[in-house]
């Protein structure tokens, strides 16, 4: 009987590259023997030596071994948990902040051009908001096998225990350093804060059904999240408040809100500027959450129709509308595309802030049916925005301007606000 010969394991290849661009996902890339090679923790313009760790027919992924010619924008990362085989939350701490902004614009332009087939995308320079560190009002920590809290290693589900995170707002930092967790069944700890109000919350996610005993030494709400049960407050209130502009929003433990409060203020300003309401229009606020956009613009329009699938967010939005004294707001709970099916009255304006998966064709088909003439798309992912471009253009919407906003410094993520108008 013949035996199949053993496959010989080839030693990892090392190659030298001149990096020529940045990819969506934060990796720099260069080319070797006609193949594109992606390199994390590098910067376009650098000459580097890398080791190929994964290879396909047309592309490869590599590990950075040495920077032969460093970029003038390369800096020393301030966080001890940043780098290969460490925390994967940040990708760009090694890049000077002004260059981070420039690279994010390149990514938005590239995605719109290649995936959206927009020949000359009208993308403005990226707006910096707030601080490049200590900006997050929302952090999620997972319990490591040793019981400590940590963040996921890049590209894996392994938890790296951390003593702190430089992206956390100081309000959360104080809570994090005072936490003592050793409760069996605890899976995740979520921290939230109202940067402009001082409110703070700890959310405990668990598989256990029993509530733990709790001691709280600082002013903070504590809410228990259990499978198939409503959130249960263990201390304080089941929500925080956050002020954006002249409005103070209630945000429950299960409701979405922007993780960068300074960025949220900028987004509201841009949405108002781009929509340019004249006081009488109907505004569709899709994926409306607690009402950040719709309730902020309600005094500028005739009617706001808010739609969101989250029961928690819709309850917050209803509370907020009443607290603001708004009588021109109608709220509908359910999937956006399903609720739009039953709307028949025309609406002149729309703002949508979909999840990372984007909106999809059906949403834009209904917006055209409802005769929306101007819409603003708030996107947290340039790739899904670029995918939705084909649907917007299919239904006759023209791209006027894209304003990227840096809501997530030190990472490759970038928010954008784009204006679309129907017709030529």
Closest CA to 308 of 374, 243, 252, 388: 252
- Tokens linked to 242: 């956050």
Closest CA to 365 of 396, 334, 335: 396
- Tokens linked to 223: 């809410």
- What span, in angstroms and rounded, lies between the C-alpha atoms of 303 and 401? 25
Chain Cα centroid distance, residue 152:
17
Closest CA to 243 of 199, 187, 273, 184: 199
- What span, in angstroms and rounded, lies between the C-alpha atoms of 86 and 28? 18
* CB < 8 Å & 24+ apart, contacts of 377-380: 377/352, 377/417, 377/418, 377/420, 378/267, 378/271, 378/293, 378/351, 378/352, 378/353, 378/415, 378/416, 378/417, 379/354, 379/415, 379/416, 379/417, 379/418, 380/355, 380/356, 380/407, 380/413, 380/415
Residue indicated by tokens 């301007």: 401
CB neighbour list of residue 91: distance below 8 Å, 6 or more residues apart: 26, 27, 40, 41, 154, 410, 411, 412
H or E segment to which residue 101 belongs = helix 97-114
Contact between residue 252 and residue 325 where contact means Cβ atoms under 8 Å apart: no
Residue indicated by tokens 């956009």: 293
Q: Which of 79, 87, 165, 380 is catalytic?
A: 380
380 is catalytic: yes
Q: Exposed/middle/buried for 102, CB within 10 Å: 0-12, 13-18, 19+?
A: middle
Closest CA to 367 of 403, 386, 339, 399: 339
Instruction: Enumerate the active-site residues.
Output: 380
């Amino acid at each position: 009987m013949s035996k199949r010969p053993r496959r010989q394991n080839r030693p990892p290849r090392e190659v030298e590259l001149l990096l020529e661009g940045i990819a969506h996902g934060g990796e720099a890339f260069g080319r070797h023997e006609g193949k594109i090679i992606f390199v994390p923790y590098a910067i376009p313009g650098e000459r580097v030596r890398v080791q190929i760790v994964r290879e396909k027919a047309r592309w490869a992924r590599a590990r950075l071994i040495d920077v032969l010619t460093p970029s003038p924008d390369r800096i020393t990362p301030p966080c001890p948990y940043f780098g290969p085989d460490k925390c994967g939350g940040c990708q760009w701490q090694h890049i000077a902040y002004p260059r981070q902004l420039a690279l994010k614009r390149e990514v938005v332009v590239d995605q719109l051009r290649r995936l959206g087939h927009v020949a000359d995308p009208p993308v403005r320079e990226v707006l910096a908001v707030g601080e490049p560190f200590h900006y997050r009002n929302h952090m999620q920590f997972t319990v490591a096998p040793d019981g400590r809290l940590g963040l996921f290693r890049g590209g894996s589900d392994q938890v790296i225990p951390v003593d702190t995170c430089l992206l956390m707002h100081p309000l959360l930092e104080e809570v994090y350093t005072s936490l003592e967790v050793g409760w069996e069944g605890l899976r995740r700890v979520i921290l939230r804060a109202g940067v402009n109000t001082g409110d703070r919350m700890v959310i405990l996610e668990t598989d256990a059904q029993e509530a733990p005993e709790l001691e709280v030494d600082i002013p903070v709400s504590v809410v228990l999240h259990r499978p198939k049960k409503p959130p249960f407050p263990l201390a304080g209130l089941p929500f925080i408040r956050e002020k954006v502009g002249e409005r103070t929003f209630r945000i429950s433990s299960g409701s979405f809100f922007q993780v960068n409060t300074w960025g949220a203020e900028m987004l509201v300003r841009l949405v108002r500027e781009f929509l340019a309401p004249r006081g009488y229009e109907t505004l569709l606020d899709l994926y409306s959450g607690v009402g950040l956009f719709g309730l902020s613009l309600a005094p500028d329009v005739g009617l706001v129709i808010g739609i969101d699938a989250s029961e928690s967010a819709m309850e917050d939005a209803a509370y907020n509308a009443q607290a603001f004294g708004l009588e021109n707001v109608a709220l509908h709970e359910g999937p956006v595309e399903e609720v739009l099916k039953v709307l028949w009255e025309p609406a002149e304006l729309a703002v949508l802030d979909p999840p990372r998966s984007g909106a999809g064709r059906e949403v834009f088909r209904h917006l055209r049916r409802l005769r929306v003439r101007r819409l603003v798309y708030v996107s947290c992912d340039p790739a899904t925005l670029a995918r939705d471009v084909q649907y917007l253009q299919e239904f006759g919407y023209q791209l006027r301007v894209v304003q990227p906003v840096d809501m997530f410094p030190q990472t490759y993520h970038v928010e954008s606000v784009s204006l679309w108008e129907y017709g030529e």
